[in-house]
Each structure stands twice: as C-alpha cells, then as structure tokens.
C-alpha cells in the first residue's frame, strides 16, 4: 500500500529504458499509476516527492498512458525536472546492474534510507553506490571557426562538438588534450571550464570546456570520427544537437561571442 506521501508523488516509471507518460503527455503525478514494488525515493521537486519505479519488461501502460524514449523529453522539460529524470534513469540503471556484489559475488540488498546497495556476505559487507562516469565535451575554436565532428552513428548531416570519457587516473583537462588529439590529431591550448550536465545514457556527467586551436592538421580517428572540420560561425551545419544539451550550449556560446544568434530563426 502506498504511504501518505506516495499518494501525491511524481512518478518516473521505467520499463527498460522507456519512461511512462500519462494521458496528458506529462510525467504522472498523484497516486502511483503502476505496481510500485520496486520503488526508489528520488527527492522532492516543487513540493512533491519524486519516485523512480523499475517496471518489468512485460509491464503494460495503464489506461491512457504511453511509454516513450526519455530523450524525446529533453527539450521540453524544465531544467530541474530534467535533472530529476536524469537521477531516476541513473538510479534505476545502477540498481539493475548492482544486484550482486562486484567484490565477492553475493547478492546485495537495497539500504532502507540511503541510495546504496550493501553486500549480504558478512565477511564482505561492501557498500555499492551509484557511479557517474565523467565525459569531457569540448568546443575547439580558431578565430571565427569552431571544430565540429561526426561519429559514424550520427544521423546524416549531423555535427557536434567532440567528446570522450575521462580515463582512470586522468584529470578532466588531460582528457581534453588527449581526446582531441586522439580523435583529430589537433593540439589545443587555453582551456576554460564552461558548464556541466548530467547525461543519464546511462550514467555520464558531461564536463564542458572551451579551448583554442594550438596546431596540427585534422586526421580523423578511423571508426570513431567519420568527419571533422572547422566550421565558420556563418556556415554551421543545419543539423545540430538538441537545445537542452551541453553541446548545444557550447555552440550557442561560441556564436554569441561572435555576435551571432544561433540557431537562426526559422
Ligand atoms: Zn561482497
């Protein structure tokens, strides 16, 4: 039975990587619309408690409800609701992938108060917390030009700023230099931190940097970067990242500093 606070919750119910929306196309509020046996407390948003529920792959949507790809919500959710959605996605993914202790293989159990799973083996008792994987994403600029590239899996014509995971034992700044060199053979300098963004696909934290071109000719990493080039601020690709993404903010900030409004109207 739901408790008093659960009767007026905001429900991030996931079936696999799909999110349940209500008949109004919004994240359901009020009493739990689904079987809430696998429930995680996320925190509070606009005075309403938020919960994540992990649904079995066979779960059917309640009447009027529909399951959608959460990425389709990115551009229309307010920032704080987007943050709560990211939290729900990451915690469910962590919960699903930490049912057994990585140290000894014994089953783990959800802690009653914290977002933590504890090993059930008395000789181990290791505690497992959600992990985030830092990714650097970089706007490399050369005067009125910005370096954009595309991966083989991008839609046709789509370009973005370059990104890559931070390695173990590496600083974010070292990762910027290494990733740009590995992907394009270019050198950069004058790194400036820009902003960060949780990216729950499945559990990244994007760290945005701006950097200046320092030298080299573009050589794309085979299999990783299909094409990369410096684009003039007036001739940017017409297929670009969603407005709610850090890559979009980096390109928009580059344009703003050169007195351009981007993306152009229409
Ligand atoms: Zn263990």
pLDDT digits (tens, 9 = 90+) for 202-246: 899 999 999 999 999 999 999 999 999 999 999 999 998 888 899
User: Does some domain include residue 109?
Assistant: no
At residue 2 the predicted structure's pLDDT band, cuts being 50, 70 and 90, is very low
Q: How close is the Cα of 102 to the center of ligand 1, in Å? A: 7
Angstrom distance (rounded) from CA 10 to CA 86 = 14
User: Looking at residue 81, which CATH number applies to its domain?
Assistant: 3.90.79.20
pLDDT digits (tens, 9 = 90+) for 75-95: 888 878 888 999 999 999 999
Question: Where among 69, 97, 125 does a domain terminate?
Answer: 97
Q: How close is the Cα of 101 to the center of ligand 1, in Å? A: 5
Q: How close is the Cα of 120 to the center of ligand 1, in Å? A: 7
* 209 and 145 fall within a common domain: yes
* 140 and 237 fall within a common domain: yes
User: Does some domain include residue 28?
Assistant: yes
Secondary structure of residue 109 in the 3-state scheme: strand
User: Does some domain include residue 112?
Assistant: no
Q: How close is the Cα of 115 to the center of ligand 1, in Å? A: 17
pLDDT digits (tens, 9 = 90+) for 34-75: 887 778 899 999 899 999 999 999 999 998 999 999 988 888
Structural domains counted in the chain:
2
* 177 and 238 fall within a common domain: yes
Q: Would the pLDDT of 265 be above 80?
A: no
Q: How close is the Cα of 117 to the center of ligand 1, in Å? A: 10
User: Does some domain include residue 116?
Assistant: no
* 249 and 139 fall within a common domain: yes
User: Does some domain include residue 215?
Assistant: yes
Q: How close is the Cα of 99 to the center of ligand 1, in Å? A: 11
* 179 and 70 fall within a common domain: no
Q: How close is the Cα of 100 to the center of ligand 1, in Å? A: 8
* 52 and 158 fall within a common domain: no
User: Looking at residue 236, which CATH number applies to its domain?
Assistant: 3.90.79.10
* 200 and 252 fall within a common domain: yes
At residue 1 the predicted structure's pLDDT band, cuts being 50, 70 and 90, is very low
* 83 and 12 fall within a common domain: yes
Question: CB–CB of 138/251 below 8 Å?
Answer: no
User: Does some domain include residue 125?
Assistant: no
User: Does some domain include residue 139?
Assistant: yes
Angstrom distance (rounded) from CA 222 to CA 224 = 5
Q: How close is the Cα of 9 to the center of ligand 1, in Å? A: 34
Q: How close is the Cα of 200 to the center of ligand 1, in Å? A: 26
Question: Where among 71, 97, 123 does a domain terminate?
Answer: 97
User: Does some domain include residue 118?
Assistant: no
Mean of pLDDT over the chain:
92
* 248 and 141 fall within a common domain: yes
Q: How close is the Cα of 30 to the center of ligand 1, in Å? A: 38
pTM of the model: 0.87
What are the helix (H) ranges across the chain? 79-97, 172-184, 246-257
The residue range of the domain holding 64 is: 5-97
Q: How close is the Cα of 124 to the center of ligand 1, in Å? A: 5
Angstrom distance (rounded) from CA 26 to CA 73 = 9
Q: How close is the Cα of 118 to the center of ligand 1, in Å? A: 8
Q: How close is the Cα of 165 to the center of ligand 1, in Å? A: 28
């Amino acid at each position: 039975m739901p408790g008093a606070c659960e009767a007026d919750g905001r429900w991030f119910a996931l079936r696999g990587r799909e999110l349940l929306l209500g008949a109004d196309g919004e994240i359901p509020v009020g009493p739990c619309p689904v079987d809430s046996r696998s429930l995680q407390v996320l925190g509070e948003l606009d005075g309403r408690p938020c919960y994540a529920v992990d649904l079995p792959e066979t779960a059917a949507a309640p009447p009027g409800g529909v399951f959608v790809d959460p990425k389709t919500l990115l551009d229309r959710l307010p920032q704080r609701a987007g943050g709560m959605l990211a939290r729900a996605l990451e915690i469910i993914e962590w919960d699903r992938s930490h049912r057994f202790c990585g140290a000894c293989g014994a089953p783990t159990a959800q802690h009653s108060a914290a977002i933590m799973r504890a090993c059930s083996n008395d000789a181990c008792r290791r505690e497992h917390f959600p992990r985030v994987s830092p990714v650097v994403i970089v706007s490399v600029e050369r005067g009125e030009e910005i370096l954009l590239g595309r991966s083989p899996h991008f839609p046709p014509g789509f370009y973005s700023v370059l990104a890559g995971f931070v390695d173990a034992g590496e600083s974010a700044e070292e990762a910027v230099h290494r990733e740009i060199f590995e992907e394009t053979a270019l050198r950069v300098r004058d790194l400036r931190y820009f902003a960060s963004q949780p990216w729950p696909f499945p559990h990244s934290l994007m760290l945005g940097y701006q950097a200046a071109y320092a030298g080299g000719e573009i050589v794309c990493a085979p299999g990783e970067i299909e094409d990369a080039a410096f684009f003039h601020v007036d001739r940017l690709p017409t297929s670009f990242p969603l407005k709610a993404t850090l890559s979009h903010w980096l390109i928009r900030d580059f344009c703003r500093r050169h007195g351009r409004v981007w993306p152009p109207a229409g």
